[in-house]
């Protein structure tokens, strides 16, 4: 994961995060999960600072979405909370009849209700949970792998947003000191003062690289700018990296992440996680990429 601490994540999410964009993102993830797993409902919760309360943040349901979104649940008396405590996905195919669950007021009690719940992490710590619900067909073990993919995407997506908001906070501070700079100069100064490796690309060309990126590639950052990272990407990963890049919708503002192998100038091979977000650079669409060396993980 990134060098951004959980405390920084909490501060950023409270003060800088655009709530409407966050809810739009989470709701879209719920919708994809519903379609993929033939669900009646999906709800995403964030774990409150008390460590005991799960606050509903987004839902996609056939009915009773309003009731679900208006009702926080407790970790110690809900099936979703059980997965948070266990730190893993759990299946409750008898959720409608066994004890240990929480009934949301204003919704009917269903004896054939099935639940699959799973926590998700940001910065390697549990940040919330997802609750998947359907009536009738049992959840099976094979579906756990798909849910793991959803929660991994959710955690990585949130991390990218929080990293970006951290940069925005730094830019706001710079504007207080000097408010006449070009947008590109604000980005450059803010990114130069973070530990995360970061590059900005436009049409595949590197427009900016910070010192941490230069260290990652074992090259002077001046030699990265106006080049491409294609020469560093492992031959077997180039096509996949290209597909990720061109297959991404730049106009929706949502983050994107993927893994690639690179070979630096010292000929060392590294596994790198790329967290990317669309921005504007010199009046044109560009991509802000945070690069994390995960070789040892």
Assess whether pLDDT exceeds 60 at residue 15: no
* Mean pLDDT calculated for residue range 264-282: 88
> pLDDT tens-digit profile of 137-182?
999 999 999 999 889 889 988 888 888 888 888 999 999 988 888 9
- Can you tell me the distance from the alpha carbon of 163 to that of 160, in angstroms, rounded to the nearest whole number? 5
Same domain, 18 and 148: yes
CB 131 within 8 Å of CB 156: no
The domain that contains 259 carries what CATH number? 3.30.450.20
Assess whether pLDDT exceeds 90 at residue 60: yes
170 in a domain, yes or no?
no
Predicted local confidence at residue 10, as pLDDT = 34
Nearest to 274 by CA among 289, 261, 287: 289
Same domain, 77 and 140: yes
- Can you tell me the distance from the alpha carbon of 135 to that of 131, in angstroms, rounded to the nearest whole number? 13
Strand, coil or helix: what is 81? helix
Same domain, 188 and 137: no
* 79 band by pLDDT with thresholds 50, 70 and 90: very high
For the chain, helix (H) and strand (E) counts, in that order, are: 9, 11
Could you give the C-alpha distances from 218 to 144, 202, 204, 227, in angstroms and in order? 39, 22, 20, 15
Same domain, 152 and 196: no
Q: DSSP of 126-165, one letter per residue?
A: EEEEEEEEEESSPP-THHHHHHHHHHHHHHHHHHHHHHHH
The domain that contains 137 carries what CATH number? 3.30.450.40
* 258 band by pLDDT with thresholds 50, 70 and 90: confident
The b-or-e profile of 152-177 (16+ CB within 10 A means b, else e) is ebbbbbbbbbbbbbbbbbbbeebeee
- Can you tell me the distance from the alpha carbon of 78 to that of 117, in angstroms, rounded to the nearest whole number? 10
Question: Model-level pTM?
Answer: 0.75
Predicted local confidence at residue 254, as pLDDT = 63
Q: Which residues contact 276 (CB under 8 A, 6 or more apart)?
A: 160, 248, 255, 256, 257, 287, 288, 289, 290
Same domain, 143 and 191: no
Same domain, 39 and 147: yes
Torsions phi, psi for 232 (to 5 deg): -90, -20
Same domain, 132 and 21: yes
For residue 44, give its domain range.
6-160
75 in a domain, yes or no?
yes
172 in a domain, yes or no?
no
Q: DSSP of 120-132, one letter per residue?
A: EEETTEEEEEEEE
Assess whether pLDDT exceeds 80 at residue 58: yes
Same domain, 125 and 195: no
Same domain, 95 and 149: yes
Predicted local confidence at residue 224, as pLDDT = 92
* 200 band by pLDDT with thresholds 50, 70 and 90: very high
| Pairing status of strand 205-209 against strand 284-293 | unpaired
Average pLDDT, the chain: 86
Predicted local confidence at residue 8, as pLDDT = 34
* Mean pLDDT calculated for residue range 276-282: 87
- Can you tell me the distance from the alpha carbon of 144 to that of 89, in angstroms, rounded to the nearest whole number? 7
1 in a domain, yes or no?
no
165 in a domain, yes or no?
no
Predicted local confidence at residue 7, as pLDDT = 37
Predicted local confidence at residue 3, as pLDDT = 38
Q: Please state the domain count of the chain.
A: 2
């Amino acid at each position: 994961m990134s060098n951004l601490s959980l405390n920084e994540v909490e501060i950023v999410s409270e003060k800088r995060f655009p709530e409407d964009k966050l809810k739009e993102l989470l709701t879209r993830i719920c919708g994809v999960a519903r379609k993929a797993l033939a669900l009646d409902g999906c709800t995403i919760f964030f774990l409150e600072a008390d460590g005991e309360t799960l606050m509903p943040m987004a839902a996609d349901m056939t009915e009773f979405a309003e009731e679900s979104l208006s009702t926080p649940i407790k970790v110690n008396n809900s099936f979703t909370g059980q997965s948070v405590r266990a730190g893993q996905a759990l299946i409750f195919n008898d959720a409608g009849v066994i004890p240990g669950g929480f009934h949301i007021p204003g919704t009917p009690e269903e004896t054939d209700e099935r639940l699959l719940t799973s926590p998700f992490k940001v910065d390697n710590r549990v940040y919330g949970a997802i609750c998947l619900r359907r009536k009738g067909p049992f959840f099976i073990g094979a579906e756990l792998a798909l849910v793991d993919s959803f929660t991994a995407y959710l955690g990585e997506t949130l991390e990218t947003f929080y990293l970006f908001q951290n940069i925005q906070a730094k830019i706001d501070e710079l504007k207080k000191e000097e408010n006449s700079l070009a947008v590109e100069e604000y980005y450059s100064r803010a990114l130069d003062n973070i530990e995360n490796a970061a590059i900005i690309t436009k049409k595949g060309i590197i427009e900016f690289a910070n010192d941490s990126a230069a260290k990652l590639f074992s090259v002077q950052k001046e030699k990265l700018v106006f080049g491409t990272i294609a020469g560093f990407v492992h031959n077997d990963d180039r096509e996949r990296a290209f597909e990720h890049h061109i297959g991404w919708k730049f106009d929706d503002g949502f983050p994107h992440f993927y893994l690639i192998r690179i070979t630096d100038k010292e000929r060392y091979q590294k596994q790198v996680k790329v967290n990317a977000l669309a921005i504007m650079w010199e009046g044109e669409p560009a991509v802000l990429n945070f690069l994390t060396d995960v070789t040892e993980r």
